[in-house]
Amino acid sequence: MVLPIYLYGHPVLRTETQEVTPDYPDLDKLIQNMKDTMYASDGIGIAAPQVGKSIRLIYIDVDVLKDDMPELAGKKFVLINPVITVDQTSKTVSREEGCLSLPGIHESVTRHDRIHVKWQDENWQEHEEDIEGFLARVFQHEYDHLEKTVFVDHLSPIRKQLIKAKLMNIVKGKVSCDYRTIGYKPLKKK
């Protein structure tokens, strides 16, 4: 089932996420719904907060980029309770990023090129891997969602000021998407 994407400004994107346990209700169904939602939205990664769940769960599928980046062929991941350690000695690379929760905004973000990741998959098997290049960027971008961060938080203050109107339009619901969304709904004053 395709779920709505929660947009910038919604409190769920800034809420602390909880670890997922094997008894989490309907976890398999949630994972499938996240996949369906990501594919329907033309994304390459999605984190649980983006579908309104404050839990440590990510789905990534970068296989669609294999024509331009052959090293991404077949790269699909369900990450439960991931832990990322950034290799601070690795080079930093600036590259444009976008996000399903921030439609219409694409900005250059500087990230380290190498990370170490530990996680469990949907079968609760433990994994540990060094990831580099573009895939490391995707992992870090999605992991940020679990840490109450969105990619524009990495921008310089001047750059954030330059896109402030776009961010406010998302918060105000003045944005058009090809997918279902849920935006910030302020409490009505009495």
Encode pLDDT of 105-163 as tens digits. Answer: 999 999 999 999 999 999 999 999 999 999 999 999 999 999 999 999 999 999 999 99
* Separation of alpha carbons 137 and 129, rounded Å: 14
- CATH number for the domain running over 5-182: 3.90.45.10
Res 190: pLDDT: 53
CA torsion 105-71-31-33 (nearest 10°) is 50
In this prediction, residue 184 has a pLDDT band, given cuts at 50, 70 and 90, of confident
Dihedral over Cα of 141, 79, 35, 135: its sign? positive
142 is catalytic: yes
Amino acid at residue number 163 = I
Catalytic residue among 19, 128, 129, 142: 142
Encode pLDDT of 21-54 as tens digits. Answer: 999 999 999 999 999 999 999 999 999 999 999 9
Average the pLDDT over 8-33 and give the result.
97
Spatial contact of 112 and 90, defined as CB atoms under 8 Å apart: yes
* Sequence ranges of the domains in the chain: 5-182
Where do we find the tokens 């105000």? Answer: 172
Beta-ladder partners of 116? 85, 130
Tokens of 99: 């996000």
Count Cα atoms within 13 angstroms, Cβ side, for 162: 9
Conformational region of residue 42, where left means phi above 0, alpha means psi within -120 to 50, and beta covers everything else:
left
What is the percentage of the chain residues whose pLDDT exceeds 70?
97
Nearest CA to 96 out of 108, 105, 111 is that of 108
Amino acid at residue number 186 = P
Res 186: pLDDT: 64
Spatial contact of 51 and 6, defined as CB atoms under 8 Å apart: yes
The model's pTM is 0.95
Q: Tell me: pLDDT of 188 over 80.
A: no
